Amino acid sequence: MAQAIIIIGMGEAAERIRADRDRAWFLRFGTTLLACEAVFAVVFGVAAIVIRRRSFLLGAIDLVLLGVVTALARSRARRGGLAAPAQIIGYAILAHCVLTALVFPWGAPALTIAALLALILAFPYVQGAALWRLLAASVVTIASVTALSSVLRDSEPVPAAWRTGVVWAGSTAVGVLIVLLLAQQRRRLEQMISRESRARAAAERAARHAAILGEVSRHLMSLDVNETFAHIPRLLVPAIADVATVVALDEAGMPRWVAEAAADDELDAIVQALRGDEAASTLAPVHEALTTVERRSFDDIPRWLADNVPAEHPFRHLVERLGVRAAMVIPLVARGRPTGAITIARRGAPFAAEDAAIAEELAGRVALALDNARLFRDSQRAVRMRDDFISIASHELRTPLTATQLHLRAASRLAANGATDPVLAGKIEHADRGIRRLVTLVESLLDASQIDQERIELTLQPMDMADAVRDVVAAYEEDARRAGCALDVRAESVVGRWDRTRLGQIATNLLANAVKYGRGAPIEITVEDAGDRAILSVRDHGIGVAPADRARIFERFERAAPGSRYGGFGIGLWVVARLVRALGGTVGVDAADGGGSVFTVSLPRRLESERSPGIARAGSGRRPAQTV
């Protein structure tokens, strides 16, 4: 009875293992087998005591030993592969049936069935020589034990007993071979079905990925950067992720959250809360992806949170509410430079290699589209700047030309009519002033062109900044007087190594800017000694500069007050900023007390790179270029 139940259970077990080859089920089967062996060992033991038959005692001992072997096989299956445990159980069942065949009359049929089941059990895990050894052991065991059982129990002659054993062994071998052939064919069929399933799944993934990329190409035709950013996460959710976010680098190089998408409303609410957390766009994984320009993958988000984010941090609480288990950060790279990053996450299994490949392909296309959109935007801006500059330049050049032309015509008429020298001289002076104005404008354009092409030449020599500033003020005093601006100079003696021409250009442009926007009000110019640096300040009482415009006015063709009321090309402060940077200093603007602006230039007394071959020493007679 016990043997029949165990054999039936093993038959079902063999079918399950052959079909599933599942370690977890194998372990559960081992547990069930152990329980059956324990129960029947107890039953056989009680029967041996009550009935006092030695065969039941031997059966109980055999079941205990079989249970020990099963436990060992189960333990080994937990630690490693299933081939060795399957062989152990197969040999143990054969040994168990040997004793059964010797003790019980139905032992030989049971031994044959057990051998078949043992081989079927081992077949999915045991291959090659090991399987044939198990087959040979089964055949020899069946022949020997059947013959011995016939001699001892049935008193059969030895030749007849051996014939009986060979018949049982042969029938077992034929049955086993048939089973093995059928199992092999079934395994081949399963492999074919498995390959077909994998191929179908791969084809479906490829079709899905092609559809995603096709959708990407359609949406990325837009040259609007914001529209492009908005479409990116929607292409990834829910195709390969439950949550997708996009971070872009702003003009200062700082990451800024720009778009997101979620698979459902609950996730979307949490993602919106995450967007309000400043830490979300400056996390270490995003920073690392942007710095290394390489994809970052995380297969266990809960563990990463536990190791890297404090338990009380709101960001950790929000991500835990999302329930995502895997995530990837893919940088957006165009022309070797990062422009942003895409973060995708999902609640299920980690991302497969195919998912990573499609995400990186999408990121590459998005980065290229964004770069094209930015280039288009920059080209449009350059065209607008060019048109604005042409308009401004035309106006600025036409004004002195017209005035000069009028004065020259008047002088010509006066000379023809015999005018007195003072009147004629006045007209000629006005014409000369207009010509000087034209020369100044042309020189400004030439300087801007050279600076734009990074051809700033510095000739450093010992000098007193106070003397250079006083020279500039003296040269500009007449223009300031005509504008109604009184110039107040307070200059300490500060000696350093600078380029006198470039320093004069800086002071001239700042003073011209103050006169232009502070017309009719006094202007203060100061030079201060700040240890290893010299500070030049120019303060006016004009219209001032709004905080939002304080960085913009140092850009090319930008002015504090756009319009025709104030002249100029909008390059004076840009030239100042580039020259100051070439001299290793800084320039800025603040609001002055009582109105107006204060422009402050801070220059080191000596350039750190002065000893390099790119900068001429005083008296060397060279003017090599230093790149800004």
| 22 pLDDT higher than 60 | no
Q: Check residues 208 and 5 and name the one with the higher pLDDT.
A: 208
The percent helix, strand, coil of the chain (3-state, each to 5) is 65, 15, 20
610 and 478 housed in the same domain = yes
Q: What is the pLDDT of residue 7?
A: 39
Q: What is the pLDDT of residue 52?
A: 72
| 465 pLDDT higher than 90 | yes
Boundaries of domain holding 69: 2-193
CB 508 within 8 A of CB 473: no
504 and 406 housed in the same domain = no
147 and 67 housed in the same domain = yes
84 and 144 housed in the same domain = yes
* Per-residue model confidence as pLDDT tens digits over 506-537: 998 899 889 888 888 999 999 999 999 999 99
Alpha-carbon gap, residue 370 to 372, rounded angstroms: 5
108 and 125 housed in the same domain = yes
Asked, for residue 211, whether it belongs to a domain, the answer is: no
Domain count, the chain: 4
What are the contacts of 443-452 at 24+ separation with CB within 8 A? 444/569, 444/571, 444/572, 444/575, 445/393, 445/569, 445/571, 447/505, 447/575, 448/556, 448/569, 448/571, 448/574, 448/575, 451/574, 451/575, 451/578, 451/579, 451/628, 452/556
pLDDT bin (cut points 50, 70, 90) of residue 367 is confident
Q: What percent of the chain has pLDDT over 70?
A: 57
* Per-residue model confidence as pLDDT tens digits over 383-424: 777 666 665 665 566 666 666 766 676 666 666 666 566 666
Asked, for residue 101, whether it belongs to a domain, the answer is: yes
* Per-residue model confidence as pLDDT tens digits over 150-186: 555 555 555 555 555 555 555 555 555 665 666 666 6
Nearest to 274 by CA among 301, 245, 252: 245
395 and 517 housed in the same domain = no
Q: Check residues 331 and 129 and name the one with the higher pLDDT.
A: 331
Q: What is the pLDDT of residue 549?
A: 81
Q: What is the pLDDT of residue 159?
A: 59
Of the spans 42-56, 307-321, 432-446, 564-578, which averages the highest pLDDT? Answer: 307-321
| 21 pLDDT higher than 60 | no
418 and 507 housed in the same domain = no
What tokens were used for 403?
A: 């005035």
Q: What is the pLDDT of residue 236?
A: 80
Asked, for residue 442, whether it belongs to a domain, the answer is: no
Give the residues across from 255 on adjacent strands. 249
* Per-residue model confidence as pLDDT tens digits over 102-152: 555 545 555 555 555 555 555 554 555 555 665 666 666 655 655 555 555
CB 444 within 8 A of CB 569: yes
Other beta carbons within 10 Å of 259: 20
Mean pLDDT of 452-475: 83
429 and 478 housed in the same domain = no
